[in-house]
Amino acid sequence: MLGNLVTSLFLHERIETTVAKGKELRSVADKLVTLAKKGDLHSRRVAATVVKDAEVLRKLFAEIGPRMAERKGGYTRFLHAGKRQGDNAPMAFVELTDAAEATVEKVDMSELTGDADDASASAEA
């Protein structure tokens, strides 16, 4: 079960699961990212015992491992997401730490507030 969860995490870089499964998933995922940072053949073979999908394993060692090279730990983030509708089970999001940083673009706050128009109008006067 944890092998499937960690495979989905590395494939999608963010998954929603129950809190209990998510807490166990963090330790497995962090160990696999540490193996991916090493990048040698033995690390790849150890990771292949958990991650059965060859494409996800390639992504782990070719993309995720090098992205996390500067980090010393804390490769996953755990966010509580409320309760599940059917059985009221506590749910959570588990995501790779840099996944949110990679998708969020910097936005100039003056564009959102409309201050850019005021600044350009005063510069013309």
Number of domains in the chain: 1
pLDDT at 98: 81
pLDDT at 112: 52
Gap between the Cα atoms of 11 and 118, Å rounded: 45
pLDDT at 104: 46
Tell me the CATH number at 22: 3.90.1030.10
Q: Tell me how crowded residue 29 is: count the other CB atoms within 10 A of its CB.
A: 23
pLDDT at 25: 95
Strand bridging mode 90-96 / 14-18:
antiparallel
Strand partners, 96: 76
Closest CA to 33 of 15, 6, 55: 6
Strand partners, 18: 91
Share of the chain above pLDDT 90, in %: 74
Query: With left for phi above 0 and alpha for psi between -120 and 50, is residue 15 left, alpha or beta?
Result: beta
Gap between the Cα atoms of 100 and 119, Å rounded: 32
Work out the average pLDDT over 87-112: 71
Task: State which residues form the domain around 83.
Answer: 2-124
Q: What are the tens digits of pLDDT across the range 3-20?
A: 999 999 999 999 999 999
Q: What are the tens digits of pLDDT across the range 50-94?
A: 999 999 999 999 999 999 999 898 999 999 999 999 999 999 999
